Amino acid sequence: MNPMTAVILMVGVGALQLSRAARAASVSGYMMVGTVIVVALCIARLLLGRTSLLDRWTDSKWPQVFAVISAAAMLASQSLSLGAPLEGSVSTSLLVLAGGLYVFDGRVGRHDGVVAAICIAVALLLLPTFDFAVRGGVVAVLVIVSAGWLAAGQIEPSGSRRWSTFFVVCAICLALLVPLVAAHRFIRPVDLNPSYAGWVPASGGPASESERAARGVGDGQDEISSDHAASTGLDQNERIAESSLDSLYDLWTEAYGEPVTPAEQQKTIALKQDGLNQAQGTDRGDSRTGRSFDIKRRAPAERAASGEKQGTALLELRGPLPAWIALEALERFDGDAWQPRYAGRSFVPVRHLGERWMELLLRPISPAFGRDGEYSVRVGELNGRTLPLPPHTTQFRMGLIDQPTFFSSDEAGVVRLARRTLPTGASIDVTAKLVDASRLLNVEPALPAHSKPLLLEVAHIEPELAAWANRMTFGTPRGWPQVLALMRSLQESAHYDPSWCSPRPAFETLQRDGRGNDYHFATAGVLGLRSLGYPARLASGVFASADRVNEQSGWAQLNRDDLHCWVQIRMSDGTWIDLDPTPGFPLLAVPMNWRQQFHNWAQQAATRAKRQWVAIISAFCFLGVVWFGRRQWLDGVATRILHIRGPTPARVARLIERRASLVGRKRAAATPVGKWLHTLGSSRSILELIDAMNQQLYCPQAPVIRFDATSVLKELSLRNLRKQLDVR
Amino acid sequence: MIPLNTVQNTVHACHRGLEHAQAVAHIRQAMNDALRGKPEVVEIALVCLLARGHLLIEDLPGLGKTTLAKALATAVGGRFCRVQCTPDLLPGDVTGFSIFNQKTREFEFLPGPVFADVLLVDEINRATPRTQSALLEAMAEHQVTVDNQPHRLSSTFFVIATQNPAEHHGTYPLPEAQLDRFAMKLRIGYPKRQDELAILEAAVGPCCEDDSPRPQPVVQPSDLHHLQQHVAAIAVGPAVREYLVDLAAVVRSHPRVPLGLSPRGLLTLQRAAQAQAFLHNRTFVIPDDVQGVMGPVLSARLNMPADASAEVLDEVLAAVRVPAWEQQ
């Protein structure tokens, strides 16, 4: 028994649990203490390693103690970054490794197997990757194994455990447990008796497995109705209709006979006027007494289609594509939805240049702009006042309008007709600036001095979304790399399903359902950018994709399917850049040279290292300790396996050969083992071992010669062999 | 309950084992007394005797070849004969011949020196090939054929031949067929300083051989026969057998070896290994035994100088992996 093993492991694990529960500042205290101990011990060991004490250290238990402490410190530090399951898995497996190696130190103890099983079980319980039930199953098996080990040790207290006993105990326990686990895991009360459905509020299993399970949500036919919003189970009436008992209809038939089925042309005559009014209370128009009408009710027939109708486009466009044509820009988010308009002062946004060309007064000027783009727009059935202008429009000409006062705008920058809706068939010629992606690095997404604080409003952003955005952009430098990293993460976070509807908030929908429409993606993108401190807003309008272009006419026809939502981010020079976080839509690609990429990578690595320095130092300490003690551990594992399999002379001799090769005294293949063992020593126990080994290897039918394995292994321990080598 | 006969057999086996060990110890002691300071040579000679092989001693004159042979012959208590080979030695001088008995009016066979228990053939390379080949049948089949009449030799017939490597003038080197009949070839070498001092000290006093105490036989030829039977029953495991075959294969494929180990040589090697195991009080052969007797057995067949033979031996032993953990 290694009581120290258990104590140290339990302290480490307890620290983790405490810190998880409390999530308080005391975690860092644990972490600091553990790390300082590990670092100090490792430095001391490195310093002492220059003296002859190195051997004593590596032969002692200290390396293993260090390993365990270091692993515990890693766990403690891991508790700080709870959201990273990978690190949790790594540190947990390190704990398992440390515990296992510590136990496998080559000495036989009755309870070592139990300690190892407990270590692994506790580590698995903490492992965040697996499902709770899977972890529970593994833990149960481990407990059984340790119980079997204990039982075998109790039955054979001499130390020579009988594997048969061990396996029998394990088999019995497993035979008892597996049906229980299976019943718990796979069979629900509803499966056992269908009539439970609806009365047992546990159709989805226990609440420990899933929050939704207790409400019976997502159970398909077994789902029951509840007060949960997502519950769509049958209500009371439906339950009766679905039941296998006699229905209400049958009871009626039994009492009053078969209901009368009216013939096809059977007619009846209306009652007198008074009776009708009394029965229905209202006059239905044709209330002539004695009028006849069909007794058979008919559903209202659909109107016959009057020939195929041609779908009308919202608008038609010609020019450089793709283009995001914003019809609405939404900046205010109240935690539930985007508000369509804020009360702002409207103004005349253009001036007349001549020949009906209108120039925007607030025309964008940015170093990110490249050449000009010429667009032609034909208005279809937009039925709104907003002009469908491509982004970064500088001037436009609409029909015969030559008065700037026909147009109005507000702070959102969207140009509208002042008094009427856009007439169908109107034609607009537009000149707009095109964004050159290679110049985007010249501008930074940032809030200009005069910008509205509304764009950075974070009051209604879910904490989960902010944490997620932080995690996804962890370590990336601020600016375009961070913005694009978030957009890419959003594109990869869920599937795009244009028809997906959900009552949940946008980000929660994406996370829990794994799918969402463009509104969900755009909302999550804007709020994520705002949580990171970038001014952003939601734009809705029409997305003009290049594949909408009619090759013959050269015009892109955009209809209702092309209505879209996306993100606009504000540059420091006041321009808005369109970003589309919806999967499948083109995302702005900002090209970076190798120097900028290296800078990004270095900064990312530095940030990560800075935040997780404890884990990194602990990992290095752990690896160092593993490296320095690798011979002991290898030897310990081999020795333990030897004791488990039974120390026959040949196995003992082979273990000694392994030890010798670990210290660089490998036996040549052409040297007989006995002769080689003679060179290691000539004590009585070694000679006995040589005789017994020779007999076992070369005359296996002869009875085994007794020998003292313990004293031989002690005399030819790793340490003694190394000493012999040093003496030579 | 153990059956009584099993117990009796076990007791007898133990008793026999004890007797055998004592007999070997006595022979060893007698030979060590005769040949001072050369226990390893005595061990090889003993191995050869117990393995029912014949011994070829190649060394300079005066190093104790004859002394060793005589001591061995005396110790095993059999009849000892000696043939001093010269170019004019005839085969009949070795095997014996038939003469006409005037009284009985019949031919009588007069057995030659090969009908001894231990035959010392001194300076064998001085005999003509005709005489050398007369020894072939005797050594290989323990019988001689004279006038178409086969005559059995002693069951413990043991040949110790000596030859002088320094003189080449007027010698007939042994052919490979003759060499293969010998189980082992060894060199005695000069004794150590302390042993030479002891030899000198012991020689002061007695003026002739009769003055010194004559060595007495320590075992009988029948006992030797039992010993040889016991040695032949020493177990050789499959792993060791494979090791023997591997060694033979490597020897045969060695570039410096013109004629490799024949199957008769391989059998000799196994018998020698059994004898070696017996001398180490073991009832089974281990690779150490094979390696211990490989040198003398191989050098009898390589027909090359001692240094070159040792090099080949080292290369062969280093090239073959000793069976150890394959069975586990």
Contact residues on chain A for B317, CB-CB shorter than 8 A? 670
Which of B284, B326, B327 to probe by mutation at the A interface, max A CB count within 10 Å? B284
Q: What is the pLDDT of residue A67?
A: 56
* Residue B6 at interface with chain A, using a CB cutoff of 8 Å: no
Over residues A573-587, the pLDDT tens digits come to 888 889 999 988 888
Contact residues on chain B for A676, CB-CB shorter than 8 A? none
Please indicate whether, in this complex, the C-beta atoms of B282 and A668 are within 8 angstroms of each other.
Answer: no
Inside any domain, residue B158: yes
Q: Which of A516-520, A616-620, B142-146, B290-294 has the lowest mean pLDDT?
A: A616-620
Angstrom distance (rounded) from CA A167 to CA A185: 25
Contact residues on chain A for B239, CB-CB shorter than 8 A? 697-698
Q: How far is B328 from chain A (nearest CA, A)?
A: 8
In which band, very low, low, confident or very high, does the pLDDT at A613 lie, cut at 50, 70 and 90?
A: confident
Q: What is the pLDDT of residue A514?
A: 84
Cβ neighbours around A659 below 10 Å, total: 24
Nearest residue in B to A693, CA atom: B324
Q: Are residues B69 and B174 in the same domain?
A: yes
Inside any domain, residue B1: no
Instruction: Please report, as a single letter, which amino acid is at residue A243.
Output: S
Nearest residue in A to B280, CA atom: A691
In which band, very low, low, confident or very high, does the pLDDT at B240 lie, cut at 50, 70 and 90?
A: very high
DSSP B175: P
* Residue B318 at interface with chain A, using a CB cutoff of 8 Å: yes
Over residues A16-58, the pLDDT tens digits come to 544 444 443 333 344 444 444 444 444 554 444 444 444 444 4
Over residues A473-502, the pLDDT tens digits come to 887 888 888 888 899 888 888 888 888 888
Q: Which of A88-102, A414-428, A666-680 has the highest mean pLDDT?
A: A666-680
In which band, very low, low, confident or very high, does the pLDDT at B32 lie, cut at 50, 70 and 90?
A: confident
The share of chain A scoring above pLDDT 70, in percent, equals 57
Contact residues on chain B for A675, CB-CB shorter than 8 A? 288, 291
Q: Which of A252-266, A584-598, B64-78, B285-299 has the lowest mean pLDDT?
A: A252-266
Check pLDDT > 80 for residue A285. Answer: no
**Mean pLDDT calculated for residue range A193-209:** 43
Please indicate whether, in this complex, the C-beta atoms of A697 and B288 are within 8 angstroms of each other.
Answer: no
Q: Which of A181-195, A320-334, A525-539, B58-72 has the lowest mean pLDDT?
A: A181-195
Strand partners, A568: A537, A578
Q: What is the pLDDT of residue B244?
A: 94
Q: How many helices (H) and strands (E) does chain B have?
A: 12, 9
Instruction: Please report, as a single letter, which amino acid is at residue B222.
Output: S
Nearest neighbour of A698 by CB, restricted to B286, B317, B325: B286
Inside any domain, residue B153: yes
Q: Are residues B160 and B245 in the same domain?
A: no
Q: Are residues B260 and B207 in the same domain?
A: no
Nearest neighbour of A698 by CB, restricted to B240, B291, B321: B240
Nearest neighbour of A670 by CB, restricted to B239, B317, B325: B317
Angstrom distance (rounded) from CA A95 to CA A89: 10
Contact residues on chain B for A671, CB-CB shorter than 8 A? 322
Higher-pLDDT residue of A239 and A464 is: A464
Please indicate whether, in this complex, the C-beta atoms of B282 and A675 are within 8 angstroms of each other.
Answer: no
Nearest residue in B to A676, CA atom: B288
Consecutive H or E run containing A609 = helix A594-611
Please indicate whether, in this complex, the C-beta atoms of B286 and A654 are within 8 angstroms of each other.
Answer: no
Angstrom distance (rounded) from CA A247 to CA A240: 8
Please indicate whether, in this complex, the C-beta atoms of A699 and B284 are within 8 angstroms of each other.
Answer: yes
Give me the phi and psi of A28, to 5 degrees please.
Answer: -65, -30
Q: What is the pLDDT of residue A80?
A: 47
CA angle A575, A576, A577 (to 5 degrees): 120
Over residues A98-150, the pLDDT tens digits come to 454 444 443 444 455 555 555 555 555 554 444 444 555 555 565 556 555 55
Check pLDDT > 80 for residue A621. Answer: no
Angstrom distance (rounded) from CA A691 to CA A366: 92
Return the C-alpha torsion angle B20, B21, B27, B29, nearest 10.
-160
CATH number where B308 lies? 1.10.8.80
Angstrom distance (rounded) from CA A577 to CA A443: 11
pLDDT, averaged across chain A: 71
Q: Are residues B74 and B189 in the same domain?
A: yes
Angstrom distance (rounded) from CA A100 to CA A115: 9
Which of B251, B288, B314 to probe by mutation at the A interface, max A CB count within 10 Å? B288
Host domain of residue B280: 234-328
- β-strand A563-570 against A536-544: which pairing, if any? antiparallel
Contact residues on chain B for A695, CB-CB shorter than 8 A? 284
Check pLDDT > 50 for residue A588. Answer: yes
Q: What is the pLDDT of residue A706?
A: 84
Q: How far is B326 from chain A (nearest CA, A)?
A: 9
Q: Which of A271-280, A475-484, B199-208 has the lowest mean pLDDT?
A: A271-280
Please indicate whether, in this complex, the C-beta atoms of B323 and A674 are within 8 angstroms of each other.
Answer: no
Contact residues on chain B for A641, CB-CB shorter than 8 A? none
Q: Three-class SS of residue A369?
A: strand
Q: How many helices (H) and strands (E) does chain A have?
A: 24, 17
Please indicate whether, in this complex, the C-beta atoms of B321 and A694 are within 8 angstroms of each other.
Answer: no
Inside any domain, residue B229: no
* DSSP letter string, A234-284: B-HHHHHHHSSSPPHHHHHHHHH-SPPPPPTT-EEE---HHHHHHHHSS--
Please indicate whether, in this complex, the C-beta atoms of A697 and B321 are within 8 angstroms of each other.
Answer: no
Please indicate whether, in this complex, the C-beta atoms of B328 and A650 are within 8 angstroms of each other.
Answer: yes
**Mean pLDDT calculated for residue range A167-179:** 66
* Residue A650 at interface with chain B, using a CB cutoff of 8 Å: yes
Contact residues on chain A for B327, CB-CB shorter than 8 A? 697, 700
Nearest residue in B to A692, CA atom: B282
Angstrom distance (rounded) from CA B325 to CA A651: 9
Q: How far is B322 from chain A (nearest CA, A)?
A: 5
Check pLDDT > 70 for residue A278. Answer: no
Question: At what angle are helices B263-279 and B4-34 packed, to 10 degrees?
Answer: 100
Q: Which of A235-244, A606-615, B174-183 has the highest mean pLDDT?
A: B174-183
Q: Are residues B149 and B255 in the same domain?
A: no
Q: What is the pLDDT of residue B279?
A: 92
Nearest residue in A to B287, CA atom: A672
Q: What is the pLDDT of residue A6?
A: 45
CA angle A600, A602, A606 (to 5 degrees): 120
Q: What is the pLDDT of residue B288?
A: 92
* Residue A384 at interface with chain B, using a CB cutoff of 8 Å: no
Which of B10, B286, B293, B313 to probe by mutation at the A interface, max A CB count within 10 Å? B286
Higher-pLDDT residue of B285 and A559 is: B285
Over residues A376-430, the pLDDT tens digits come to 998 888 888 888 888 888 899 988 888 888 888 877 778 888 888 888 888 899 9
The interface residues of chain B toward chain A in range 228-267, judged by CB-CB distance below 8 A, are: 235, 237, 239-240
CB burial of A565-604 (b: ≥16 within 10 Å; e: otherwise) equals bbbbbbbebebbbbbbbbbebebbebeeeeeeeeebeeeb
Chain A to chain B Cβ contacts (< 8 Å): 57
Structure-token pair, residue B283: 């009832």
Q: Are residues B207 and B239 in the same domain?
A: no
Q: What is the pLDDT of residue B274?
A: 95
**Mean pLDDT calculated for residue range B55-69:** 83
Q: What is the pLDDT of residue A76?
A: 54
Q: Are residues B186 and B325 in the same domain?
A: no
Which of A677, A697, A704 to probe by mutation at the B interface, max B CB count within 10 Å? A697
Last residue of a domain, one of B161, B177, B211: B211
CATH number where B29 lies? 3.40.50.300
Over residues A305-320, the pLDDT tens digits come to 555 455 578 888 988 8
* Residue B282 at interface with chain A, using a CB cutoff of 8 Å: yes
The size of chain A, in residues, is: 728
Nearest residue in A to B289, CA atom: A672
Cβ neighbours around B14 below 10 Å, total: 10
Q: What is the pLDDT of residue A429?
A: 92
Q: What is the pLDDT of residue A721?
A: 86
Q: Are residues B169 and B276 in the same domain?
A: no
Nearest neighbour of A670 by CB, restricted to B282, B322, B325: B322
* Residue B167 at interface with chain A, using a CB cutoff of 8 Å: no
Nearest neighbour of B320 by CB, restricted to A670, A674, A701: A670
Number of domains making up chain B: 2
Q: Which of A104-113, B158-167, B258-267 has the highest mean pLDDT?
A: B258-267
Q: Are residues B37 and B151 in the same domain?
A: yes
Pick the CATH number of A453-605 from 2.160.10.10, 3.40.1440.60, 3.10.620.30, 3.20.20.450: 3.10.620.30
Q: What is the pLDDT of residue B19?
A: 75
Inside any domain, residue B222: no
Contact residues on chain B for A705, CB-CB shorter than 8 A? none
Q: Which of A516-530, B120-134, B157-171 has the lowest mean pLDDT?
A: B157-171
Q: What is the pLDDT of residue A525?
A: 92
Q: How far is A667 from chain B (nearest CA, A)?
A: 11
* Residue A698 at interface with chain B, using a CB cutoff of 8 Å: yes
Q: What is the pLDDT of residue B266?
A: 92
Residue carrying the six token digits 């529960």: A21
Over residues A547-571, the pLDDT tens digits come to 888 888 888 888 888 899 999 998 8
Q: Are residues B258 and B172 in the same domain?
A: no
Side-chain half-sphere CA neighbours of A686 within 13 A = 16
In which band, very low, low, confident or very high, does the pLDDT at A233 lie, cut at 50, 70 and 90?
A: low
Angstrom distance (rounded) from CA A392 to CA B123: 119
Determine the straight-line distance between the first and last CA of chain B, rounded to whole angstroms.
33
Q: Are residues B40 and B115 in the same domain?
A: yes
Q: What is the pLDDT of residue A1?
A: 31
Residue carrying the six token digits 């290292």: A609
Contact residues on chain B for A674, CB-CB shorter than 8 A? 286, 288
Please indicate whether, in this complex, the C-beta atoms of A650 and B322 are within 8 angstroms of each other.
Answer: no
The share of chain B scoring above pLDDT 70, in percent, equals 90
Q: What is the pLDDT of residue B243?
A: 94
Whole-complex ipTM: 0.83
Per domain, the residue ranges of chain A are 130-187, 193-254, 315-328+337-442, 453-605, 647-727
Q: Are residues B58 and B193 in the same domain?
A: yes
Check pLDDT > 50 for residue B110. Answer: yes
Higher-pLDDT residue of A226 and B59 is: B59
Q: How far is B317 from chain A (nearest CA, A)?
A: 6
Check pLDDT > 90 for residue B272. Answer: yes
Check pLDDT > 80 for residue A3. Answer: no
Contact residues on chain A for B234, CB-CB shorter than 8 A? none
Q: Which of A109-123, A245-259, B79-93, B146-160 has the lowest mean pLDDT?
A: A109-123
* Residue A25 at interface with chain B, using a CB cutoff of 8 Å: no
Inside any domain, residue B104: yes
Q: What is the pLDDT of residue B289?
A: 93
* Residue A693 at interface with chain B, using a CB cutoff of 8 Å: no
Please indicate whether, in this complex, the C-beta atoms of A670 and B283 are within 8 angstroms of each other.
Answer: no
Nearest residue in A to B240, CA atom: A698
* Residue A598 at interface with chain B, using a CB cutoff of 8 Å: no
* DSSP letter string, A86-104: HHHHHHHHHHHHHHHHHH-
